[in-house]
Structure 1
Amino acid sequence: AAMGRDAADVLREDGIEALRRLIDEAPEIGPEIDDGASGWPDLIPLDSPPLPALNPDLLPGWLGEMARAVAIATETPPELAAAFGLAAVAAAVQRVYCVRPEPGYFEPLNVWLLCALEPGNRKTAVQGAMVAPLSAWERDEAEAMAGEIARLTSERKTIEARAAKLRAKAAGTEDNNVRADLTRDIADLEAGLSEIPTPPRLWAQDITPEHLGTVMHGNAERIALLSDEGGLFDILAGRYSNGIPNLDLCLQAHAGAPVRVDRGSRPPVHMNSPALTIGISPQPDVIAGLAAKPGFRGRGLLGRFLYLLPPSKLGHRTLDGRPVPECVRDAYDTGLRALLKRERAKDEAGKEHPHALSLSRGAWIEWKAFARHIEIDMRDGGRFEHVRDWSGKLPGAAARLAGLLHCAEHATGEIPPEIGEATMSAALELAATLAAHALAAFALMGADPGLSAARRVWRWIERTRHTTFRARDGWKALQGSFPARADIEPAFAMLVERGYLRLIEAEARAAGRPSPAYQVRPDLLRGAI
C-alpha cells in the first residue's frame, strides 16, 4: 500500500472497492522462494567491459606526439586526435603507396575512421589542429599555381575570341572553299587550347556523392572527407536525392575499384583506381540509427569503417589544458608535407602506379596469424559471429594501418619497400583495439537485438526492484518497446542464460492460467555485484 498504509488501512479508510482495485493491480508472483544466491550460475554481464584506450605510442614519432599533445591541449580522448591524424596521413599517401601482404593481393592505403563523441568535446578544435597542414598545403599550392592559371586563362580567352571571330566569318560567307579553310583554322585553334589546371584538393567536408565523383576525377582520383559531425550519413542516405541512397562511388573508392559513371545531365566520370579516405566524429546517437538506413549494412558500408567509441571527458576536465608545443606542431607539419611531396612510381612505359610495400618475413607471420585468428572468431558462436561483414575486412584494414604507420615512420627520409615486424605489431595492436570498439559500435546499432532487448528489460527490473515477477507484468510495463508478447520473450531467455533471472514457474497450457514467473538474482538486487 502507498505511503506506508497496509491492506487493513485501505479497507478501513477507502472501503472494499479500493482494496479490490489494489489487489487486482498488484503483479502476480510465483511461489515462495528462497532469496539466497546459492545455486546460481556464473553471471555473464550484459554490459561490455570498458573499451581499451588507443595508445598514442603506437603511432610513429611526430604523429603520436601530435595526437597526444592535441588531446592534452583540448582535454579530449586521444582517440579523436589519433583518428584525424591517421586520416590526414592517408589523405597524403593514398594512391601513392599500397600494401602487398601476399603475392597478388594488394590493399590501398585509404581508410575510413569514425570516432563517436558527444557534442561539447571540442571536436572542431581537434579536427582543425590535425588537418591544418593539409589546408595549408592546399593554400600554398593554389598560390604557387595562381600565376600560371592566370596566364593560361588569358591565352585561352584570346584563342576562343579568335575562334569566335573566324566562326562568325565562316557563317557569313557563301564561298564553300573559304568556309572550309576557316573551319580548319577554327579546329586548329581549338585543338591548341591548353587545359587550365585547378589547384589540388586534399579534403572536403560537405559534398554530395555526385559532386564527389567530379572532384575526385579532376584531383588525381583521390580525396578525403573529414568532418567533426556525421552529416555524411544523411547525404549518403539520400538527403539530396529524394531519399534514394547513393553508395556506389564510396564503396568502390574504398576498395579502389574502377568507376564508370555516364549520365546525360553531367560530364562522364571515369576513374581507374579511386581512393577515398574518411575521418568523421559523429554523435553516438547517430551510430545508433545507422543500421536502420537502407543499404548501409546490407551493402557493406558499415563494414568498412574503423570505429572508436572513447569515453567523453565532459565533467572531468580541469579546463587548464597545455597548448600544443610549437616544436610538436612543426614536426607534424613537416611530416605531412614530406609525405605530400611523394610521387607515384612509373613503369618502363611511363605509366604511373602506386609504390607497393611488401611485408618482411616476421611481419607476414604476425599478420597471417592475426588473420587466421579472426577467421576462427567469425564461426557460429564466435566473437565476430554478428559482425562478419566488418571482421572479414579486419586483416586488410590491419595491413592498411601498417602501411600508414610505415609511411609516417619514414616520412622525412627514404621509405623502405618492406614493412618491418615492429611496425606490423603496432598495427595489429591498433586493429585489436579497433575490434573491441567495433563490437561496441555494432551493439549500439542493434546488431544483436536480443542483447539490446535484455538490457532494456534489466533496466526495468532495476528501477522497480522486483524480486520476482511474471513475464506478463514485464511486457505490460514495456509495451512501448515490445508491441507483442513474443517480442520480449528472447530478452527473458537471455537474462536467464546470463544468470540474471531464474525461471520458477513455467507457463501453464490452460487458458487463463498465469504466465511464466521469474526470480531476480538476489545478490544483484542487494548491490553485491
Structure 2
Amino acid sequence: MPRDIVYEFPKQGAAPDWPELIPLDQPDLPRLDLDHLPGWAGAYAKALAKATETPPELPAAMVLAVCATAAARRLRLMVSPGYFEPLNLWPCVALEPGNRKSAVQGAACAPLLEWERDQAAELADEIQALESERKTMEARAREMRNKAAKAETDDDARNYASQAAQIEAELPEVPKPPQLWTSDATPEKLGVLMADHGECMAWLSAEAGIFDLLAGRYSSGIPNLDLVLKAWSGDPERVDRGSRPPVYLHQPALTIGLSPQPDVLRGLASKPGFGGRGLLGRFLYLIPPSPLGHRTLTPTGIPEGVANAYAAGVRAMLDWPLEVDPDTGMERRRVIRLSEAAKIEWLEFARIVEASMLPGGEFEHAKDWAGKCPGQAARLAGILHGVEYAHGEPWTVPVPRETMERALEIMAVVSRHTLAAYSLMGADPGIDAARKAWDWIRRGRREAFKLREAQQALKGTFPRVAALRDALDLLEERGYLEVIEPQADGPGRRPSPTVRVRPDIAEDWR
C-alpha cells in the first residue's frame, strides 16, 4: 500500500439524494477480504468458504484462531522496548444456525487434532512404561506404610514411614499427551489444562457455552473471569489443582475462537462482570450476512494440495522449538520484532484509534475495545508473520510493513463489525436511543414533525432536547430521515427544526 494512504475505518456508501439506508439491527458492514491472509492460510480459508458455502469471515476467523493457537505457544511480539504482546486472539463470528459452522470449525481444527494424535502415539510406549513403574513404586510405598502402622516400636514405624516417603519422592512424573484445545471446560479445569500443557490452550467452539460458564453456571451465578482475563493478556495467575500442589502460570496464553448465534450476543453487556471488567472488549467481532437461501448446495471440495499445504503449515508452526534462557536453562517463547516501517504503520493506526475515543468519536462508547485495538492489530501482524515463515524461523526476520498493512486492513474491517456487535450487546447507547426514537415515529407513521413535538412526546425517554437530537442525527446518518434547520427570521425564539422521514418509507406507510 502506498505510504500516502492513511488508514481509516471503512465508510458506508451513499445514494445521490438520500444516503444508503443502513438498518439499525442489520448494518451494511464491509466484508473481509481473504487476500489479507497470506499464503497457505489464505488459500485454505478461500477453499473452505467455497466448499462449505459460508461467508468468508467464518473460515478466516477459524483459520486465524488455529494459527494463533500454534503461534502463541512459541512466539511473542515486541512492539517496542519493554512492550510485548502475546500472539493469542479471540475471534468471534456471529452467524445464525444452519451455516455449517461446526463443519468449518472441524475442517480448520483438523491439523491440531492430527498433531495431538501423532504426539500421543510417539509418547505411548514411554507413558505405559512410566505408569507401570509408578504403580509398582506406589504399591511399595503402601506396603511400607502398612508396615509402619503395624510396627511394634516407634523406631521401626519411623523407619518404614521414612522409606515410604523416600519412594514417593522418587515417583516418576508420567507425561501427558499434549493437548492444544478444548471446547468444554470450567474455568478451573481450563486452568489445570493450561498448567499441564505449557501455559497455552485454545477454546474453539461453534457455540458460545463459554459465556455461560464464565457467567457462573457452576458457581451460583458468580462470574468467574480472573483466569481468562489474565490468560488473554499473559498476566501471572495461580492455579489450584485439587489434591495436587498449586502451580503458577507465568505467561498464560488463551486463544478463543467462537461462532455463536447473533441472539447470543444480545444483552451480553448486561451480564455481571462482562462489560465492566473488559471481557467483551477482548474479542474480535465479525457479523457477516447469512447466505442461507442463496446457496447452490452443490459446492466443490477443497483441493488436496490446498488442504495438505494448510496441514503442513500449521504443523510446522506447532513444531517450532522453544528458546532456552542461557541464565536459567528454562524454556521460553521466542521474540519477534517489528521492522521500522511496520512500526510506523502501526503507530499511525494506533493514533487514529486513539482519536476515535474522544467525545463524539466513533468509539466513544466502546473504549474498552478500542483501547485494546492497536495491541490486537500488533498480535495479528505477529501471527500473519508466523504464517508467512511457518517453515522457517520467523524470529530471525522482522515483521515487514506489508504484513502489518494486512493486519491493519483486517482490523479496520473488524472495527466496523465490532460497533455492530456492541449494538447487539446493548453496549452502544446511541443505537438504543435511535431505536426508541424511530419506534415512536414508525408507530405514529409520522412523515414530518417538529423536533419540539417529538421531545414533548418522548420527554420520559429524552428529558433533554440534545439527547433526542443525537438520536435523530444517528437516524439521519443511517438514511431514515433528515433534520431540516429553520431559516433565521428576525429576533425572537428560533423555530423548531423539522424532521422529514425518508420518502420511500413514508410511501409504504400510506
- In the superposition, the TM-score normalised over structure 1's length comes to 0.83
2:202 to 224, 242, 245: 224
Shift of 1:338: 0.7
Amino acid at match of 1:408: V
Pairs within 5 Å for 1:267-278: 268-278=246-256
Q: Render the CA deviation track for 1:45-79: whole Å, top value 9, x for unaligned.
A: 66476211111111111100110001000100111
Preserved CA contact (<8 Å) 1:95 1:108? no
Radius of gyration: which is bigger? 1
Say which SS state the counterpart of residue 268 (structure 1) adopts: strand
Amino acid at match of 1:389: D
Partner in structure 2 of residue 181 of structure 1: 159
Preserved CA contact (<8 Å) 1:462 1:525? no
Partner in structure 1 of residue 334 of structure 2: 355
Pairs within 5 Å for 1:93-112: 93-112=71-90
Shift of 1:487: 7.5
Partners of 2:123 and 2:117 in 1: CA distance: 10
Query: Is residue 346 from structure 1 mapped to residue 316 from structure 2 by the alignment?
Result: no
Preserved CA contact (<8 Å) 1:79 1:310? yes
Partners of 1:488 and 1:74 in 2: CA distance: 51
Partner in structure 2 of residue 319 of structure 1: 297
Amino acid at match of 1:497: D
Pairs within 5 Å for 1:347-426: 347-349=325-327, 350-415=329-394, 416-426=396-406
Preserved CA contact (<8 Å) 1:46 1:455? no
Partners of 2:122 and 2:436 in 1: CA distance: 59
Partner in structure 1 of residue 267 of structure 2: 289
- Equivalent residues, number: 474
Worse-superposed segment, 341-350 or 238-247: 341-350
Shift of 1:322: 0.7
Preserved CA contact (<8 Å) 1:118 1:284? yes
Partners of 1:485 and 1:162 in 2: CA distance: 76
1:246 to 205, 216, 224: 224
Partners of 1:137 and 1:448 in 2: CA distance: 42
Worse-superposed segment, 466-475 or 93-102: 466-475
Preserved CA contact (<8 Å) 1:287 1:445? yes
1:185–1:300 CA distance, 2 compared to 1 (3 A): same
Preserved CA contact (<8 Å) 1:356 1:417? no
Preserved CA contact (<8 Å) 2:195 2:239? no
2:280 to 302, 310, 315: 302
Preserved CA contact (<8 Å) 1:386 1:448? yes
Pairs within 5 Å for 1:486-525: 486=462, 492-494=468-470, 496-497=472-473, 499=476, 500=481, 519-521=499-501, 523-525=503-505
1:122–1:177 CA distance, 2 compared to 1 (3 A): same
Partner in structure 2 of residue 279 of structure 1: 257
Partner in structure 1 of residue 418 of structure 2: 438
1:89–1:493 CA distance, 2 compared to 1 (3 A): same
Partner in structure 2 of residue 149 of structure 1: 127
Amino acid at match of 1:186: A
Partners of 2:177 and 2:29 in 1: CA distance: 42
Say which SS state the counterpart of residue 418 (structure 1) adopts: coil
Shift of 1:449: 2.1
Partners of 1:441 and 1:522 in 2: CA distance: 26
2:138 to 160, 179, 196: 160
1:179–1:332 CA distance, 2 compared to 1 (3 A): same
Q: Render the CA deviation track for 1:399-447: whole Å, top value 9, x for unaligned.
A: 1001100111111123234111111111111111111111111122222
Q: Render the CA deviation track for 1:127-151: whole Å, top value 9, x for unaligned.
A: 0000011011112212221221111
Q: Render the CA deviation track for 1:99-141: whole Å, top value 9, x for unaligned.
A: 0010110000011110110001000000000001101111221
Partner in structure 2 of residue 450 of structure 1: 430
Partners of 2:93 and 2:40 in 1: CA distance: 21
Say which SS state the counterpart of residue 356 (structure 1) adopts: strand
Partner in structure 2 of residue 208 of structure 1: 186
Say which SS state the counterpart of residue 455 (structure 1) adopts: helix
1:487–1:236 CA distance, 2 compared to 1 (3 A): farther
Partner in structure 1 of residue 5 of structure 2: none
Shift of 1:373: 1.5
Q: Render the CA deviation track for 1:246-266: whole Å, top value 9, x for unaligned.
A: 000000000000002459888
Preserved CA contact (<8 Å) 1:457 1:491? no
| Fraction of identical pairs, as percent | 51
- In the superposition, the TM-score normalised over structure 2's length comes to 0.86
Say which SS state the counterpart of residue 137 (structure 2) adopts: helix
